[in-house]
Structure 1
Amino acid sequence: MKESQDISRLLRERGARVTPARLRVLALLRGAERGLSHHDVEKALDDGTPVDRVTLYRVLDWLVEQGLAHKTADEQRVFRFSAATTDGEPHQAHAHFVCDDCGKVFCLQDTPRAAPRLPAGFASTQVEFEVHGHCAACNVPVEEAR
């Protein structure tokens, strides 16, 4: 119940309508252990009250635009979504670490400050910094895992 109230508050703070689809999708992402693909989200929400596929795409994109979720591409170029920090603060631009094993996305505070210089005539609309590798939980040496 508290989780639903927190999510409703976050949505209202952004001037958005609190819809069942937004509530369910954000709650799912906040409870997920790893980034979820559109298909993963669709399957998880197929509990008798499925969310329309187009609505789901719109909700996921809206959550990313609002800074409530992250969108990253995995090594197969499938987009995966994960919840942003849950403190309710606006999501500031920063780098992300994506674990190639478990799919979790971690916010990095030490972010490069400047975008690369572009050739004449080019104009950027967005710059993203992403580091891929193995998180601390997945980067256990073989000897320790035994």
Structure 2
Amino acid sequence: MKTPNPSPKSSSPGATAAFDSEALLRGSGLRVTRAAQTVLELLEHGSQPLTHEEVAAAYTAATGEPPDRVTLYRVLDRLVEAGLCDRRVAADRVNRFARHVDTASGNTFECDQCHKVLALPSDPELPKVMGRLGKALRKQGIDTRHTALTLHGTCGDCSR
């Protein structure tokens, strides 16, 4: 997989970028640091979820200096805890990070090749199916807190 080379957009007053990492971090109760802003901006502008190593490489490319690896782990953990990004563990058991995919249903599609995550289109039958599954699980003594569906396959870009 190629390491993306996005350049974070500045959040200075003169910037015209619609993405405001500083406001998102403050609004989530997180400290605004250069590392947190840079990582959040890299994830926002990345075309696919990134591993820790890929975030480190993109960070270095964007800022000209490598991040402290422990700081990077902590920043990614805090962004996940705050709901600003998602951590997904793929079949290869590698953590990948991406900006949070906000869907009304929480249902997503994940490409097994590039690990891009997309919101599934709404389907009026899906809540009924998920409800039946939850009911069947409760009969087995399993109490679900959250139910979401993730479909895996190959996206249109990777299938070409």
TM-score by length of 1: 0.73
Q: Do the aligned partners of 1:70 and 1:83 also contact (CA within 8 Å) in 2?
A: yes
Structure 1 stretch 58-67 or stretch 108-117: which is displaced more? 108-117
Quote the offset at 1:94 in angstroms: 0.4
Q: Does 1:95 align with 2:107?
A: yes
Q: Distance in 2 between matches of 1:125 and 1:53?
A: 33
Q: Do the aligned partners of 1:67 and 1:91 also contact (CA within 8 Å) in 2?
A: no
Quote the offset at 1:77 in angstroms: 1.2
Gaps of 5+ in 1: 141-146
Q: Does 1:130 align with 2:143?
A: no
Q: Distance in 2 between matches of 1:91 and 1:9?
A: 21
For 1:17, the aligned partner's letter is R
Between structure 1 and structure 2, the one with the greater Rg is 2
Structure 1 stretch 30-39 or stretch 104-113: which is displaced more? 104-113
Between the two proteins, what is the percent identity of the paired residues? 37
Gaps of 5+ in 2: 1-9
Please identify runs of 4+ aligned residues in structure 1 that moved more than 6 A: 90-93
Structure 2 match to 1:24: 38
Q: Distance in 2 between matches of 1:62 and 1:92?
A: 23
Structure 2 match to 1:61: 77
Q: Does 1:139 align with 2:153?
A: no
**Higher relative helix content:** 2
Quote the offset at 1:39 in angstroms: 1.1
Q: Distance in 2 between matches of 1:54 and 1:123?
A: 36
In structure 2, do the counterparts of structure 1 residues 91 and 97 end up closer, same or farther at CA, with 3 Å as the change threshold?
Answer: closer
SS in 1 for 2:152: strand
Q: Distance in 2 between matches of 1:5 and 1:135?
A: 26
Q: Does 1:105 align with 2:117?
A: yes
Q: Distance in 1 between matches of 2:153 and 2:19?
A: 35
Structure 1 match to 2:4: none
Quote the offset at 1:93 in angstroms: 6.2
For 1:130, the aligned partner's letter is T
Q: Distance in 1 between matches of 2:158 and 2:50?
A: 18
Structure 1 stretch 127-136 or stretch 28-37: which is displaced more? 127-136
Find the partner of 2:94 among 73, 78, 82: 78
Q: Distance in 2 between matches of 1:16 and 1:91?
A: 23
SS in 1 for 2:156: coil
Structure 1 stretch 16-25 or stretch 43-52: which is displaced more? 43-52
Structure 1 stretch 10-19 or stretch 46-55: which is displaced more? 46-55
Quote the offset at 1:78 in angstroms: 0.6
TM-score by length of 2: 0.68
> Could you give the per-residue CA deviations for residues 49-68 of structure 1, whole angstroms, max 9, x where no partner exists?
33222221121122122222
